[in-house]
Amino acid sequence: MTTPKEAAALDIVKVLAAHGHRALFAGGCVRDMVMGEPFTADIDIATSAPPQTVRALFDHVIPVGEHFGVEIVMRDGIPFEVATFRRDIGSADGRHPDSVEFADEKEDALRRDFTINGMFFDPVAAAVLDYVGGRADIEKGLVRAIGDAGQRFTEDYLRMVRAIRFSARFGFAIEHHTWAALADNAAGIARISAERVFAELDKILCGPHADRALVLLHESGLLAVVLPEVESLRGVEQPREFHPEGDVFAHTVRALSLLANPTQVAAWGALLHDIGKPATMAVSDRIRFSNHDRVGATMAALLLRRLKAPNSLLESVCEVVDNHMNFINVTKMRLSTLKRFLSRPTIDDELEVHRVDCLASHGDLSNYTFVKEKRAELPVEEIKPPALISGKDLIELGYKPGPLFGKILGEAYDLQLENKLTSREEAVEWVKNNYKN
């Protein structure tokens, strides 16, 4: 227990043990430890102590799931989920158990989702407790549901997406009975709240091997339910001279495979950058997708709004999708236009999406290289300098506020970006010479 989080979790266990209660680390943190990975997952604690005892033993307790025996214990400013050993009974809504009964640690392990997540760790005895074969499945590289896979999924349909996330993250196969139950129950994902689905998809896209996960989501039938706009990319052919990789879905999968530790915006931007193509496909001299960037931005907004994604993410991803074709023109842009292009808040994410877009198709990175060189060449203060004049200056010159203000200020700023106006005095003189008061 070397980190502050681990030490605080151990302290909770010791307090519970000192009062005669069994207390164990549970879930993903144990899986990561067995796999030799650092404790990146939350450290959850499972205990024989009932909720009222947990509340009595600790000063700062937040009752978040009292009906299910779950409390949040704050220790050294860190929140820990402390849950009483239980068995779940029924799940009419496919999201939560109808009721719970407190039980022992083995029964608690048997109610969990996958064997790799069903192990416990006793930090006092430094012993892993494995009632479900989690260690064996880690060695085999398998994601396997605990017990009856169909029952595990109907208890919480979100577990189907989690199975795919773990498979992609660890490069594990999904055990065949688990996979069959997943495919049989895929339609049930529609019963899960948009917020929970978004959270799982977000972890997939920002994690390793999102490309593999996207293929598994399709093969299982889940993609058609949660992201039908992406499912519809399958079979949409593209001109071979620009896209030798295949249809739009194959291109998107390949683009995701080329991301390296993406930001949230870049990950969703790469997934959605071409979703406007099915709606804009036309065949003339060749296959064309006119304005698919603009159409795609509108579709991306509707999709992310449906998933209840944060507004900040929605707005940034739509910018990435809307602008991803503009890189074609960067070498021909006027200096002022290029500076405006480079000064946008989403330019880093747009660059990353442009990079994988190119590498996933024709492989030509000349525009990407041009933009990278220009960004290195032009200092930030030159790319987006403070405007030399403002509306207040125009008023002081005797101009009346109105629509013309925007035109004057926009033209003056473009000249400033072109280095044709370099001082306030020059800008004022330019206004006087070009716009009569």
How far is the first Cα of the chain from the last one, in angstroms, to the nearest whole number? 74
What mean pLDDT is predicted for residues 134-158? 97
Closest to 345 (Cα-Cα) out of 297, 394, 380: 380
Residue 1 confidence (pLDDT): 59
Counting residues of the chain whose pLDDT is more than 90, the rounded percentage is 86
pLDDT digits (tens, 9 = 90+) for 181-223: 999 999 999 999 999 999 999 999 999 999 999 999 999 999 9
Q: Is the pLDDT of residue 92 over 70?
A: no
Under a CB-based contact definition with an 8 Å cutoff, are residues 170 and 140 in contact? no
Q: What pLDDT, on a 0 to 100 scale, did the predictor assign at position 343?
A: 93
The pLDDT assigned to 97 comes to 73
CA–chain centroid gap for 273, Å, is 15
Q: Which residues pair with 87 in a beta bridge?
A: 101
What structural domains and CATH numbers belong to the chain?
1-134 (3.30.460.10), 141-205 (1.10.110.30), 228-323+345-369 (no CATH), 391-434 (no CATH)
| Element containing residue 172 per DSSP (H, E) | none
Encoded tokens for 10:
């151990």
Per-residue model confidence as pLDDT tens digits over 158-169: 999 999 999 999
Answer yes or no: is pLDDT of 384 > 70: yes
pLDDT of residue 419 exceeding 80, the answer is yes
Residue 437 pLDDT > 80, yes or no? Answer: no
Residue 21: enclosing H or E segment and its boundaries?
none
Helix (H, G, I), strand (E, B) or coil at 284: coil
Q: Which residues contact 233 (CB under 8 A, 6 or more apart)?
A: 247, 248, 249, 252, 274, 275, 277, 278
Per DSSP, 67 falls in state G
Give the model's pLDDT for residue 99: 75
List pLDDT tens digits, range 4-56: 899 999 999 999 999 999 999 999 999 999 999 876 778 999 999 999 999 99
Q: pLDDT digit string (tens) for 395-406?
A: 999 888 888 899
